Chains A and B, each alone.
Chain A
Amino acid sequence: MIAEVALPFVGKRAVTRRLLSNRSASAAIALLFAIVIPCVGAPLFAPADPRAQPNPVELKNQPPSASYPFGTDQASRDVLSRVLYGGRVSLAVAFIATLVSITLGTAYGAIAGFAGGVVEAVMMRILDTLLSIPRLLLLIAIFAAWRGLNVAGFVLIVGLTGWYGLSRVVRGQVLAIKGEEFVVAARALGASRARILLKHILPNILTPVIVAASLGVGHVILLEAGLSYLGIGVQPPDPSWGSIIQDGSDQIAGAWWVSFFPGMAIVLTVMAVNVLGDALREALQPRHMGTE
């Protein structure tokens, strides 16, 4: 259903120009930089060690102030530093898991669409089944059972369960592009199947992949936060945005700031990648141009 038509070729420069002329997209990009850079460079930017407990008696649950911009938690740890280090974990988890998902999704969809026939039919039937498995419930079952799992295992499993939707879209695109003249021409010139797939088809189906990557990062950030909140996400002592919110949720009446700031970091990041995803879709596939 989602855009199963061939897309017009759009030059890279035109895309960049269209993206930057979109004010909300520029704002989203700026916001992402403003969040990602301090988080990735947390050791440089964080005012304190995220695990240091300077004075668990006198400095616990301090409200936001000049010395503790985001306040301190019940163990007197600096919430700002924890949010920055936590962002490192949350963002890395989201980026890598999404990378796994889009690689798998693109490969599976492209192979199914390109192969055709029985192979395609079987592959799509398997995909239909996978698509109807509720992802959160499956992840809860997996992580509840395998509690000692390290971050790498967590990322891999999240990535392995997130590629089905993209596969379906990619396969639609491949089907549409397979019959285009430039593909027929390449085949007539004797190009191998692998060459046609990699050199001629893949570059032309990048639109849904890029859009899915952007939206996928937002989705995984929310998923990781939720699982960490349930106590089965990224395990302590590494804080993640979700586990910091969990830390603060017991005493939300007294020390709201412990949960508030990591939550805002999540909301802003996810809003930014969602805006960016929508804008990318518009820029790469100028469907509504006539109406705007």
Chain B
Amino acid sequence: MAGYLLRRLAQVAVVVALVATIAFVLIHLAEGDPFSDTLENPNVTEEIRAQLRATYGLDRPLPEQFARYVASVFRGDFGWSFSRQRPVIDVLRDALPNTLLLMSIALAVSFALGIALAIAQAGRPNSLTDRIISGISLFFFSVPEFWLATMVIALLPYRYPGIFPIGGIVDPTTHADLSRGGQLLDLAKHTILPAATLTLLFSAVVARYQRAALLDVLPADYVRTARAKGVSERSIVRRHALRNALLPVITLFGLAFPALLTGAVFIEKVFGWPGMGLVIVSSIDSRDYALLMAAIIIGSVLVAIGSLLADLLYRVADPRIRDDR
């Protein structure tokens, strides 16, 4: 187990290093830098630009820049965000908890909802209920995240502005003056739509996956035995099949991180939710490469940790794969 864990951790490190290197090289080989684009002011002469580049080390050869970057990342310094005029690490420290809040609500609710729906479906496959739920989950499985979020905004906040705020995480003008309870309520009001949108999207993934997993298990011998003993169909699904069909749920848990992060990027942009997704999107627009690099690194760390956790859970849950290959 220890050997396996070490090997997997090494793999996580390799993946993150690979993503960081690819992103760094691509971004720095591309035409333009933060100073060629954002400072289109005619008063900024070429000399000033060159001076700025020298200050930030952008005139050095690429390998040197990369070595300096890696060294500073290991010291916990992700550089300076030009667009926000703050250290990148501070921007991330503010944004990451907001994204994790959105992701954890969506993760918890969609697993509960998705598995419950799958149980309802697998108990009577091809029934009307099964078909209706399948249709609805197919819709949410096939919808572009940002479009769904945009339509949610068009349907609710624009019509009921008193109930649903249009975006952000709290009301910027009144929040500071509210009581503690009022602040929580304000946060909840702003959270409900983005969290619900992300939840709908991921519940569909869980329900589809879990229904297939249950239907895979239902033809098994022990299910036939239970049926022969006279166990009711409901109880077969809940007590016999579900336990065995829960293994794929762990796999799904590993898939959840990239899926939720992807969803969060778009949903945060549409709802103006100040998390990692919004950081990524705004750093694309402003060519704030230090910020973009850092956000991509943190994102790939999140995804790698998710899949590592899933692998470990799998080994705990299923004795058959515990032996090292």
Contact = CB atoms under 8 A, between A and B. Distances in A.
B278 to A, nearest CB: 11
A47 interface: no
B11 A132 contact: yes
B139 interface: yes
Contacts of B146: 225-226, 229, 245, 249
A5 B261 CA distance: 33
B158 A140 contact: no
A226 B289 CA distance: 20
B144 A141 contact: no
Interface stretch (B18-26, B44-52, B111-119): B18-26
B126 A292 contact: yes
Interface string B8-51: 00011011001100110011011100000000000000000000
Interface in A227-256: 229-232, 242, 245, 249, 252-253, 256
Contacts of A259: 147, 150-151, 154
B284 A231 contact: yes
Given A140-B280, A252-B154, A145 B26 contact: yes
Contacts of B66: none
Interface string A152-177: 00000000000000000000000000
Interface residues of A, number: 45
Contacts of A256: 151, 154
B269 interface: yes
A275 B147 CA distance: 21
A91 to B, nearest CB: 15
A71 interface: no
Contact of B19 (A137, A242, A245, A253): A137
A218 interface: yes
A132 B31 contact: no
B155 to A, nearest CB: 9
Instruction: Give the size category of B's interface with A.
Output: 35 or more
B102 interface: no
A137 B289 CA distance: 14
Contacts, number: 142
A196 interface: no
Contacts of A99: none
B252 interface: no
Interface stretch (A13-21, A55-63, A103-111, A262-270): A262-270
B150 A252 contact: yes
Contact of A134 (B139, B144, B158, B261): B261
Interface stretch (B191-199, B237-245, B295-303): B295-303
Scoring B18, B141, B144, B299 by chain A CB atoms within 10 A of each residue's CB, the highest score goes to B144
A44 interface: no
A141 B145 contact: no
The 9 closest A-B pairs by CB, nearest first: A270-B142, A145-B30, A263-B147, A141-B23, A253-B158, A271-B142, A145-B27, A144-B284, A134-B303
24 contacts: A129-B11, A133-B15, A133-B19, A136-B261, A137-B19, A137-B261, A137-B280, A137-B300, A145-B30, A145-B289, A218-B142, A229-B146, A230-B284, A242-B144, A249-B146, A249-B270, A263-B150, A266-B144, A266-B147, A267-B139, A267-B143, A267-B147, A274-B141, A275-B138
Given A128-B11, A267-B143, 7 more contacts: A137-B261, A141-B19, A146-B26, A218-B142, A249-B146, A252-B154, A259-B151
